[in-house]
Amino acid sequence: MKTMWKNVLGIVLVAFVASGVAIGTSTYLINKIQPVQYDDPQAAFKQPLRLAYYNSSAAELTDFTQAAESTVNAVVHIRSTINVSAGSGSGGQQYIDPFEFFFGFGNRGNQRQQPQPRGGVGSGVIISTDGYIITNNHVIDGADELEVTLNDSRKFKVKLVGTDPSTDLALLKIEANDLPIIPFGDSENLKVGEWVLAVGNPFNLTSTVTAGIVSAKGRAISGGRSGASKIESFIQTDAAVNPGNSGGALVNTRGELIGINTAIYSETGNFAGYSFAIPISIAGKVATDLKQYGTVQRAMLGVSITDVSALTDEMKEKVKVLEGAYVADFAERSSAKTAGVEKGDVITAVNEVTVRSANGLQEQISKYRPGDKVQLSLDRNGSKKTVTVELKNAQGSTEVIKSRDGAEVLGAAFKALTDTQKRQYNVSYGIEVTGVTNGKLKDTGITKGFVIMVVNNQRISAPEDLEKIVDSILTGRTEDQGLFIKGFYPNGRTRYFAIDLTD
């Protein structure tokens, strides 16, 4: 009996001692915030000891349920359909099954093949109670039909309001009222390490929510910009995003929209640890412009920029800052140059918002419209400068650009050259003008039968190639203001035409 009580008292004593040591140690460490001391002063790190306070929020206590419940009903499922014509295929020729051709099964080789529609799926976010939906341009690009399914299973046909390939965004409209929405948050004040939720329809699994943290901001993922107007300043997260999530919502724990999920890093096509979202600071402005004008009012500084970190060692010796957008050159009509910016300057802030990279500068400028004035903070060989720049569009003016239909402006119909025509004309590419009505081509003197080979130094192999060039001019995504066309008539006569698209 005495042995039992002795053991019990021993356990209690050990518990009190252990508790006392823990309490005493915690009290000592909290009250004794000072550099760690070492016997050898040379071995000491210059680092104060810091402990998390007891009132700090533990990650496991974060509640995601409210954010999920308030956003899932405002994320829609988008189905796109591309109607493939019966004559489509390689070179525009009818497809014939080789087994039917050689073996003549039931004369089926003489029948026209029925077109098989192609489809795709993605996500979208309702941003207005009257049915405006934002999504990625690549979700709806080339679609002949679009259908939206809400979380309550209601289906709607869709009107395409406008697209912006430069940011990979599109604005849709469905005819409905009193729809649930996700309010815009503040993507600029988003912190690395902050919890976020990705809401969308991966693998056609509707109303899916995944969680992660913001792992980086201002990220570029293309490796090299495909054009001067390409804007990349993504929010990088480790929230699981897969095919079908494109166009869906990235939200914070308050249920606010902070980004549009757009891409994943993957070598297999599925999620491999990182996903990327367009910040709502960019997406919100693009959506507003598409609704109001039909096209994005894109402001330009007129500078060629690169990251300070990407400079050569020789160039870095002349730069006194470690971060910012280095001005390497200017466009022909540069508002930045007019305002006093010089080659070699490093832009470090826009309206007192810090700029750490070329992508960060693009993100800041993308929030403004032509005609707006911004204050640039510069570092010029270690000297701090401030200039005020009036932003302009790609054509060098501050006028509003209205959306116009390229086919209507040109007033013509086109088709790709057939293989027979290519052999006849001894060419490997080109499109034929198959009809001309009232429009720019007729005014210029181009008639039916003319073969267009090159436009603005770009080879034209299909009508879509010309449409993209015209659209980029009409929407202000390029400095070009017209078309310089090279081609020939069937009689072999080569002709050149210049068409002004600005009036």
Which amino acids are annotated catalytic?
Answer: 138, 168, 246
Q: How many residues does the chain have?
A: 503
Of 204, 353, 379, 380, the residue nearest 279 (C-alpha): 353
Give 90's contacts (C-beta < 8 A, 6+ positions apart): none
Residue with tokens 């300043």: 233
Residue with tokens 């993504």: 234
The pair of three-digit structure tokens given for residue 131, joined into one six-digit string? 């049915």
| DSSP per-residue codes, 151-192 | TTS-EEE-EEEEEETTTTEEEEE-S-SS-----B--STT--T
Interatomic CA distance for residues 172 and 290, integer angstroms: 10
Count other C-beta atoms under 10 Å from residue 205's C-beta.
12
- For 35, which DSSP code? B
Interatomic CA distance for residues 417 and 452, integer angstroms: 10
Please state the φ and ψ torsions of residue 387, each to the nearest 5 degrees: -130, 155
3-state secondary structure of 307: strand
Per the CB < 8 A criterion, the answer to whether 203 and 242 are in contact is: yes
Measured CA to CA in angstroms, residue 332 lies from 120, 299, 347, 362, 395 at distances of: 42, 15, 19, 19, 10
Angle at 52 between CA 51 and CA 55, to 5 degrees: 140
3-state secondary structure of 383: strand
Of 247, 237, 248, the residue nearest 273 (C-alpha): 237
Q: What is the separation of C-alpha 233 from the centre of its chain, rounded to a whole number of angstroms?
A: 8
